[in-house]
Structure 1
C-alpha cells in the first residue's frame, strides 16, 4: 500500500497548477517548526557536536531537511516552517553568530550556511511532492550590524543602504513601560549587535518589501509566511505587504495582552497565540497551575480576536523555554501537546518537542535534533503521531471542524474539558494538571456539556477504549495518572485504521481542499534587485494541485494508521 501511496502522490504532484494557500487551507494543516541550523545535516555530511550555549552555526541545511522529511511527515505534519533564508551578518559577535537567521544584511542573497539556490528550490519541490506546505520566516522590522550604532556602515546593507531608511537610534529597554511609538520606532538588540529599525511606515520601504516578497513567494513556491517581530512593525505596513504576498501570513508578537495581539491579528490575518501560550504553560507546569486563568484567556481570545481558528497554537518555540525545562513530568507534557493540537487554530510543534528536549530558554532551547538520533519510538513522538491522526480524522469525517470554535465545557482546579465540532462529530478533550502521580477519579459529563446522547458509542482515542453514553446522557470519564483523554464517536472511525478499525484509502469527496503553491524554476536566488526590487516571476496556481495536496494529507493518515 505504501507503493500505491507513492504512485498517487507522484502522479498528482506532477501537475504544477495551483492556487495560493489561504487561511481556509492552512486551518487544515499542522505545522512542524524547523530551526534550520539545528534540524539536520545532509546525508553525505557528518554531524558535528553542537553546543547551543556557544551560539555557533552547527551545519543544519536545506538539504538536511530534505533528507529528513520522512521523519516530519511520519509524525503526521502537513507543513513545515523554516528559519529566515536571507544573507546574514557574517561575523561571530559577542552576542554569538547569526545561525538563527534574524540578523539579515541582504534581502537579495541567500544564507550560504543553509545551502544554495538549487538546494532551496529542491526543498520546495520535495515538500510539495509530498503534498505538504512550505512556510518561510521573514524579517521586515530590522537589519543587523556587529557593533554600536555610531559605527554602522549602512552601505553594507542591501537594499536599504542609507540612514534615511531607518528610525533614529533609541533602544527598547522595557516593553512593560513602552508606548506604541517606542515599540515601533526604537531598536531591538543591544550595543553589541545593533538592529537598525526600518521605517516600515514609509511608502518606499513598503514598496521595496512588497516587490521582494512577491518574488520570494513566486520563485520558491512559498505557501505561507511567519513574520518576525511583527509587534515592532507599523501596523499599516501589513495592509499592502500581506495581500501582495498572495499567501497566508502569521505574525509574531511576544505579548500576552489580548487586545494588542488581536489588533495585529486584524492587520495581518493571523498571529502566533502568545496570549494563550503564557497561561497554558502556567496551568500545566504543576498541579498548582491555574486552570481558571487559562479558561479566562480562551474566552478572552474568542471575544476579542477576529478569528481564533486562524491563530497559531503552540506550546514551544525557539524563543521560549522548553516545557520540559519547567517539569520532566511526561503526563503534563502530553496534556500540553494535546491542547496544542486539539484546540482552535493552526497547531505548531517546535522541533524537539516530540523528543522531550529540555533547553531552558535562548540559546539552550536550540538544541541540535541529531543528538536524539531522530528516535521515532520516543514517547512524545508516537503521542504526537496519534494527535495528528485524531485531528486529521476529525477534519476528514466532520463538516467544518476547523472553523468550529472550541469551547470549555467543564473546569475545576485540576481538570479542563473542551468540545470542538458539531453534534455527531465532536471531539471531547479532557486535560489534567495533576501529573503522573495524579490520583484516579471519575468525571461525569452531561449531554448538555458533550452533546453526546444516551446509547451513543464513543471511543477514547489515546487509550483505545470504547464506552457507551448511559441512559442519563452522561459520559463517564475515568481519569488517572494525570493523562489526557480524547473522545470521538466510534462510528466515525470507520476506515481510519485507528483503534483497531480496518484501514481503507480515504476519499476527498465533499471536502474543502487546501491550496498550495507549485515548485517553480527561479533563475535567481531571491529576485535580483532592479529599482526597489522586482519579482522575477509570478505564481500560477490551479485547483488541481489543491486537490493533490489534500489527497496527500489523507493518504498520509491512511499510511500512518
Structure 2
C-alpha cells in the first residue's frame, strides 16, 4: 500500500512538473521578451550583425548560457520567438514551413529542451510565441508547407486592405502571407493538436499568440482551451472596446491601449496626464479582467521610445507606468541598455556585446522588478491617488507610483493615500534612498524634481528585507 502511494505521489509530482501554468499563476510573473536570433550566440562571439533583416546567429544555447543576465534583474519568465522551421531568412519565426521541425538556426530540439530545463531549474517560465493564422511566404506553392500542403487548407487569395472590415481581416492575407482556413477540419485539428504537442513536448509554461484579429474568436477559444495555460494575444489596435472583445475567447491580450496612450502622453509634455485617467477608467469599465493583460512599453513591432524621444527620464516614467499598472508586465530586451532602434528591423538589435550589468538602466529595471515582487503588487488593486495636467499618481497596495511628463520642479500634496500608510510613517523612493517623505495629517507632500519618476514604499519594509 505504501509503495502504491509513493508511486502515485511521484507520478503526480512528475505530472505537475510538466504542466503549463494557469492565468492565475502567471499574475506574479515578470516577463523578459527576446528575439531568439538576436539575444546571444552559441559561440559567444559579439560580432556586429550587418543585416538585421536576416539571421544574425542567436540560439537556444546562447540564451541558456546567459540566463544569469536576465535573472539577475529579477525576471522569472522569458518570451521567445516562434520555434518551427521558417522560410528563407525569416529569423523572426512568423513564417512557418514545417510545424513539427524546430528552426535549425536556433538549434536542435534537444537544445531547446535543455534551455527550458535550465530555466525551470531556476524557477523561470517559458512563454512561447505561436502563430495559427498564416504560413511562410510561399504564395500558392502550398506543397512546401507541412502539414498544411493543400490549397483547400487556405482561404481564397485576397489581401487585407480595409482593417475596419472584420470579414476581410479574418479571411484575407496579411502582407500576402497565405491565410490558413481554420474552418477546414484538417487545419483546425492540426493547429490544436500542434499547440498541445509543443506545450507537452517542450514543457512550455505559457503562450503569446500572434495575429489574433485575423482569425475568428471562436477558434481562439478552442485553441486556448486546448492549450490549457495562460495565453496573451496580439491585437495591434488601441481601441479599448475592440481589444476587450477578445478577452474571453482568449485569457488575455497585449495592452495596446496603454501602449499608445501612454507613449503619446510621455513623449509630448503638452498632452495632459488626465488622458491617463480617461484611459484607465475605460480599461476598468470594459475589460473583463485587466489584471492579466500583457503590459509593455516597447516591443519588436514598434520603434523603440528612445528612437524618437531621447529624454531618458520620460522613458523611465513611461516604463514605470506600464510596469506597475494592473497586468502582467513585459520588458523588451535592450530596454536595460537604452537601445534606441527605430522601425522594424532597427528595433530588433543584437544583444551580444551589450550585456552590461552595471549600467544605469540595468539597475533601474532591477529595482523596479524586485519592488513588484517584494510588495506583491499583483495582489492589490490599482487606485488613482492624484492627477493634474503634469502628474499622474496611483498605488498598488503599499507601492505608490508618481509619474510626470514635465521636466520642471513641481510640488504637490496627496491627500488620498493608501489606507496601509500610518501617521508619521516614512516612505522611501526605490530609485533614490535619499528621497523620503513622511505621512503627516493623513497626507504626503511630494516634490517632483526635473521629471524623475518616483516609486515610494514603506521604509521599514526595505530595511526588513
TM (norm. structure 2) is: 0.93
Are positions 1:446 and 2:418 aligned together?
A: no
Q: Mark the runs of 5 or more structure 2 residues left unpaired by the alignment.
A: 1-12
Contact 1:107 1:159 in 2 (8 A): yes
Q: How does 1:543-558 map to 2 (within 5 A)?
A: none
Distance 1:48 1:70 in 2: 21
1:394 corresponds in structure 2 to: 375
With 448-457 and 280-289 compared, the bigger mean Cα shift is at 448-457
How far off is 1:200 after superposition? 2.0
Distance 1:16 1:212 in 2: 20
Contact 1:321 1:359 in 2 (8 A): yes
1:432 corresponds in structure 2 to: 404
SS in 1 for 2:253: coil
SS in 1 for 2:352: helix
Distance 1:370 1:139 in 2: 27
Structure of higher RCO (CA pairs closer than 8 Å, 6+ residues apart): 1
Distance 1:428 1:48 in 2: 43
Distance 1:61 1:139 in 2: 20
Contact 1:442 1:477 in 2 (8 A): yes
1:49 corresponds in structure 2 to: 48
Distance 1:45 1:439 in 2: 44
Residue among 142, 145, 155 paired with 1:167:
155
1:123 corresponds in structure 2 to: 115
Distance 2:436 2:258 in 1: 32
Contact 1:286 1:327 in 2 (8 A): no
Residue among 221, 226, 230 paired with 2:212:
230
Are positions 1:108 and 2:96 aligned together?
A: no
1:545 corresponds in structure 2 to: none
TM (norm. structure 1) is: 0.78
With 200-209 and 328-337 compared, the bigger mean Cα shift is at 200-209
Are positions 1:184 and 2:170 aligned together?
A: yes
Residue among 473, 482, 504 paired with 2:442:
473
Q: How does 1:290-301 map to 2 (within 5 A)?
A: 290-301=272-283
Distance 1:371 1:447 in 2: 46
Residue among 393, 396, 411 paired with 1:417:
393
Distance 2:349 2:182 in 1: 33
SS in 2 for 1:115: coil
2:8 corresponds in structure 1 to: none
Contact 2:426 2:459 in 1 (8 A): yes
How far off is 1:141 after superposition? 0.2
How far off is 1:403 after superposition? 4.3
Contact 1:51 1:367 in 2 (8 A): no
Q: How does 1:483-502 map to 2 (within 5 A)?
A: 483-496=452-465
With 200-209 and 319-328 compared, the bigger mean Cα shift is at 200-209
Distance 2:277 2:181 in 1: 38
Are positions 1:375 and 2:373 aligned together?
A: no
Residue among 312, 334, 341 paired with 2:294:
312
Distance 2:461 2:65 in 1: 35
SS in 2 for 1:486: strand
SS in 2 for 1:391: helix
Q: What's the CA shift string for 1:41-62, capped at 9, x where partnerless?
A: 02x353332135x501000000
Q: How does 1:194-209 map to 2 (within 5 A)?
A: 194-209=176-191
CA RMSD of aligned residues (A): 1.7
Q: What's the CA shift string for 1:113-168, capped at 9, x where partnerless?
A: 0000111010110110111100100000001124xx4xx21111111111111111
1:548 corresponds in structure 2 to: none
Distance 1:364 1:196 in 2: 26
Distance 1:268 1:308 in 2: 13
